[in-house]
Amino acid sequence: MKRLFFIVCLTLVALHAEAAERMVVTVRHELEAARPAETIAVPWAEISRRLPGALMLKLAVRDASGRELPYQVTNVAPLARDPKGEGIAYGELVFQHDFAAGEQSARFTIEKTAGVAPPFPVKAYARYVPERLDDFAWENDKIGHRTYGPALAEPAPPGSDKEVLVTSGLDIWFKRPSYPVIDRWYAKGHDHYHKEEGEGLDMYGVGRTRGAGGTGIWDGSRLFTSRNYSRWRVITNGPVRAVFELSYDGWDAGGVKVSEVKRFTVDAGHWFDTVESTFSAAGDRPLAVALGLNRRPAYAEQQPGVATLRAPETLMQWVRQRSAGNFGTAIILPGADGYAADADNELILARAQPGKPLRYYLGAGVDWSGEFPTAQAWQAYVAAFRKRVQSPIRIEIDKE
């Protein structure tokens, strides 16, 4: 009898020790609709508190069925130091779940492992591109984008054929595969990624416009915009989420000097990126900010027809072309207070307080992806994404 009691006690101790090596995360939301690729971010401070000594490469994240999920541990700041191995350089543990329609809660376990977690496929990626002057490009498994640095804005040396473009507009790269294409497309050369060679193409024209979601200051009749970005900083870079910042030097906005820092969050599985623009200006008066979509966004030889739709807190376009495919673009701007237009751009407007981030969402999708065969399908997706923005997930953390 004593021996049996001893065995039971040892078993209970072992079970308690195993439970102490993992924690439970429950995620809830209020929508009846599906939420594919919902990103769940758990503060690393909570993981350290509940799983002392946890290491970023020795974890497993599992859903309720026990399936192991890809994950990422983000940095607090690039090259942050953690001399005692306490995890103080880490920001969040990030993973994703596809909520089915009607599934309003899901349960996950995070556990320490003896072995090292394998590398997961990269589905979100951003980088500076010195191969082509100083572009900055980013992508996920759905779509790609780029914008332009100061070298492109510099005058062309005499006798050279250097391209010159002064713009802070944002470009779109429509891609077919889910794997990363930025490195491959730049390696092909500038002319090649404007042609369909099996992986998609750049068929969006930016020029001097706002492109697909660039910003400016609006005085009621005129848009004042910055030059090309001046500095870049990558904060975290896949496999699930990429975060980076682009800084824009001060420009004259109708007698007020304004500068801007844009922070992009690019998540796997999404057609929209989250952007936060923080403007700096003298004084504390709100700035009249405009976000724009190019009124003629495709190359002339493709002869596009552009339909623009203004919806609550949303500006959308559907572009019909004779070749290469039709596509949609959109801006979702919570708190938007109006719309406008100039010769180059359709605009959605909001007030921004200097020093406080203005959050918005930039999206695009193409008909040959299979998800948006018509303008109506694109509009429905944008409306559904706006509902997701309005109804964020809630995260509950418990130690099992």
Q: What is the pLDDT of residue 70?
A: 98
Sequence-separated (6 or more) residues with CB below 8 Å from residue 43: 91, 92
User: Which residues, 6+ apart, have CB-to-CB distance to 62 below 8 Å?
Assistant: 68, 69, 108, 109, 111
Q: Is residue 238 located within the same domain as residue 94? A: no
DSSP string, 201-241: E--B--TTS-BEEEEEEE-SS-EE---S--EEEEEEE-SSE
Does residue 209 lie in a domain region? yes
Same domain, 158 and 294: yes
376 within some domain = no
Is there a single domain that holds both residue 84 and residue 178?
no
CB 367 within 8 A of CB 280: no
Question: One-letter amino acid identity for 201?
Answer: L
Residue that is written with structure tokens 């970023």 in the block? 56
Q: What is the pLDDT of residue 86?
A: 64
In this structure, what CATH number is given to the domain that contains residue 23? 2.60.40.1180
According to the model, what pLDDT value does residue 398 have?
A: 84
Residues contacting 333, CB < 8 A, separation 6+: 291, 313, 314, 315, 348, 350, 360, 361
Residues 85 and 110 in one domain: yes
Within a domain: 380: no
Q: Do 279 and 192 lie in a common domain?
A: yes
287-294/272-281 β-pairing: unpaired
Tell me the pLDDT tens digit for each residue of 164-212: 999 999 999 999 999 999 999 999 877 789 999 999 999 999 999 999 9
Q: Per the domain annotation, does 378 fall within a domain? A: no
Q: Is 333 helix (H, G, I), strand (E, B) or coil?
A: coil
Residue among 275, 293, 262, 290 nearest 352 (CA): 290
Domain extent for 302: 124-369
Domain match, 255 and 324 both: yes
Q: Quick one: 237 and 322 in the same domain?
A: yes
Domain count, the chain: 2
The CATH number covering residue 282 comes to: 2.70.98
Give the pLDDT of residue 7.
39
pTM of the predicted model as reported, rounded to 2 decimal places: 0.92
Whether residues 47 and 176 share a domain: the answer is no
pLDDT in tens, 91-122: 999 999 999 999 999 999 999 999 999 999 99
270, 338, 363 from 274: Cα distances, Å: 10, 20, 9
Let me know whether 96 and 160 are in one domain: no
Measure the CA–CA gap between 293 and 327, rounded to whole angstroms: 13
Asked whether residue 264 is domain-assigned, the answer is: yes
Which pLDDT score, from 0 to 100, does residue 80 have?
66
Is there a domain that residue 11 lies in? yes
Question: Is residue 388 assigned to a domain?
Answer: no
Same domain, 225 and 244: yes
Q: Which of the residues in the chain have pLDDT under 70?
A: 1-20, 77-80, 83-87, 299-303, 399-400
Contact 294, 210 (CB under 8 A): yes
Residues 145 and 271 in one domain: yes
Q: Indicate if 198 and 336 belong to the same structural domain.
A: yes
